[in-house]
């Protein structure tokens, strides 16, 4: 390290530019890839995908059964896709008495093509360290008060299986069409940080 | 490896910043795209990427943002794979570029065995110097298999660039009070566990 102490540390922007240059010289980075990938990620891997699956599960019992049995096939059926290394999507069903919450303690894995890119708090150290051990406390601090009788199920994403939560449909929304229901489904509710209790008819 | 990336159950952390403040750094989506580019070109695999992040010096890991950790890992792997050198990276970046610590040997999977849903299993009491996807909080603990998920490349080998067979993984349910007796909220903790990390236990 001694030979580096006199130089200034490169900024993240400078480091990014250096890596970009290296990959370009190596022949791995095609012109336009960064722009095309970013546009594809931002437009295609969105929370609305999971929200549409949830809304359909609320309104279509046969789809709900398929989604709970095989989340991957249910997602593909609706035209959603996965990166090569995500081989399985498990859908976790909330009930009035069961609450599921997802974390990745070792890094920050998520079903990002289905629920959208993970929010900053999900990737932050505090959430990763605490939610496995202090689930009720952490959720309460985040605004979700669970009755003592609720069973909390924490899911740590340690393999390349991915998880999403199927929230309970807010009673006030009974009878709504799937298109309208999809708009109330938040990313947080599919991670398990909220239960959509705040949704009124 | 038992480093600071293995955060589950560590104490002393604060309130989760929620909701997360709006954040717009132009270089971050670029890092995401560069990482995807390197993966698609098979310069390295996801397990090697994760292990390169784990090998960051603890002080560096704890102080770096999510995308700074990714930058460090990509650069480390590009140097280790011979695509560039640290000197070239620093010349291009115009400043010092701290990389992750050196990589050690990986390990092959254990002898094949299989477990069924409902079976009581114990996580082996293993201390692995290289890449491993067993969070420390389940080491030596007993739980019940509640799901079998598709096979994946064994990370302890894949993270070191070794060619390996794939092996099944299991969703194992633990009770929080078995993991942290008298020092946790009551919950059921589910962890995805590779077959090689498990052994049969008396129920």
pLDDT tens digits along B22-54: 888 989 999 999 999 999 999 999 999 999 999
* Cβ within 8 Å of B, A 19-58: 19-23, 26, 28-29, 33-34, 37-38, 41-42
Helices A12-26 & B27-40 angle (0-180, nearest 10): 30
DSSP string, B45-108: -HHHHHHHHHTS-HHHHHHS-HHHHHHHHHHHHHHHTTS--HHHHHHHHTSB---PPPP----P
Distance CA B159, CA B132 (A): 8
H/E run at residue B170 = strand B166-175
What are the sequence ranges of the domains in chain B? 1-103, 120-200
> How much is the pLDDT for A57?
98
Residues of A noted as catalytic = 104, 107-109
Distances (CA, A) of A93 to A150, A178, A191, B6, B141: 13, 18, 12, 27, 26
Whether B185 sits inside 8 A of A15 (CB atoms) is no
pLDDT tens digits along B113-143: 999 999 999 999 999 999 999 999 999 999 9
CATH class name, domain B1-103 = mainly alpha
What are the sequence ranges of the domains in chain A? 9-42, 46-191
Model pTM score: 0.96
* Closest C-alpha among B4, B21, B22 to residue B13: B4
Distance CA A78, CA A91 (A): 15
pLDDT digit string (tens) for chain A, length 201 residues: 444 445 799 999 999 999 999 999 999 999 999 999 999 999 999 999 999 999 999 999 999 999 999 999 999 999 999 998 888 999 999 999 999 999 999 999 999 999 999 999 999 999 999 999 999 999 999 999 999 999 999 999 999 999 999 999 999 999 999 999 999 999 999 999 999 988 887
> How much is the pLDDT for B77?
98
Distance to chain A for B164, nearest Cα, Å: 15
Distance CA A74, CA A143 (A): 31
Whether A19 sits inside 8 A of B46 (CB atoms) is no
Residues of A in contact with B98 (CB under 8 A): 4, 9
> How much is the pLDDT for A197?
85
Whether A158 sits inside 8 A of B134 (CB atoms) is yes
> How much is the pLDDT for A1?
46
Query: Average pLDDT in the B91-95 region?
Result: 98
Q: Please answer whether residues A97 and A150 qualify as being in contact, where contact means their C-beta atoms are separated by less than 8 angstroms.
A: yes
* Closest C-alpha among B54, B101, B104 to residue B79: B101
> How much is the pLDDT for A157?
98
Average pLDDT, chain B: 96
- Is A78 strand, coil or helix? coil
CATH class name, domain A46-191 = alpha beta
Nearest-Cα residue of chain B relative to residue A12: B68
pLDDT tens digits along B185-198: 999 999 999 999 99
Distance to chain A for B95, nearest Cα, Å: 4
Query: Average pLDDT in the B55-68 region?
Result: 97
> How much is the pLDDT for B202?
79
pLDDT tens digits along B139-169: 999 999 999 988 999 999 999 999 888 999 9
> How much is the pLDDT for A2?
46
Q: What is the CATH number of domain B120-200?
A: 2.30.30.50
């Amino acid at each position: 390290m001694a030979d580096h102490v006199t130089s200034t540390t490169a900024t993240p922007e400078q480091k990014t530019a250096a890596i970009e240059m290296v990959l370009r010289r190596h022949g791995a980075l095609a012109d336009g890839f960064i722009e095309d990938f970013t546009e594809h990620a931002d437009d295609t891997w969105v929370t609305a995908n999971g929200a549409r699956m949830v809304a359909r599960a609320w309104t279509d019992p046969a789809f709900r059964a398929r989604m709970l049995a095989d989340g991957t096939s249910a997602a593909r059926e609706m035209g959603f896709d996965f990166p090569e290394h995500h081989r399985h999507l498990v859908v976790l069903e909330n009930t009035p008495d069961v609450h599921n919450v997802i974390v990745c303690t070792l890094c920050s894995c998520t079903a990002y093509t289905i629920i959208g890119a993970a929010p900053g708090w999900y990737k932050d150290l505090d959430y990763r360290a605490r939610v496995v051990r202090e689930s009720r406390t952490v959720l309460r601090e985040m605004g979700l008060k669970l009755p003592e009788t609720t069973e909390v199920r924490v899911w740590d994403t340690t393999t390349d299986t991915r998880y999403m939560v199927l929230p309970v449909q807010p009673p006030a929304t009974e009878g709504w069409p799937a298109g309208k229901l999809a708009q109330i489904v938040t990313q947080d509710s599919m991670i398990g940080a909220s239960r959509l209790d705040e949704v009124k008819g | 490896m038992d480093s600071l990336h293995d955060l589950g159950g560590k104490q002393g952390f604060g309130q989760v910043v929620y909701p997360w403040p709006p954040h717009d750094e132009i270089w971050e989506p670029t890092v995401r795209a560069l990482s995807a580019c390197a993966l698609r070109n098979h310069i390295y695999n996801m397990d090697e990427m994760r292990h390169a992040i784990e090998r960051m010096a603890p002080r560096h890991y704890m102080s770096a943002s999510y995308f700074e950790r990714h930058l460090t890992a990509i650069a480390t792997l590009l140097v280790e794979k011979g695509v560039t050198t640290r000197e070239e990276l620093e010349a291009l970046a115009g400043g010092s570029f701290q990389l992750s610590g050196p990589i050690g040997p990986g390990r092959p999977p254990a002898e094949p065995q299989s477990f069924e849903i409902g079976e009581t299993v114990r996580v082996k009491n293993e201390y692995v110097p290289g890449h491993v996807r067993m969070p420390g909080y389940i080491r030596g603990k007993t739980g019940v298999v509640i799901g079998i998920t598709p096979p994946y490349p064994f990370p302890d080998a894949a993270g070191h660039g070794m060619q390996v067979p794939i092996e099944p993984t299991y969703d194992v349910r633990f009770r929080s009070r078995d993991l942290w007796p008298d020092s946790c909220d009551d919950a059921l903790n589910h962890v995805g566990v590779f077959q090689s990390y498990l052994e049969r236990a008396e129920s």
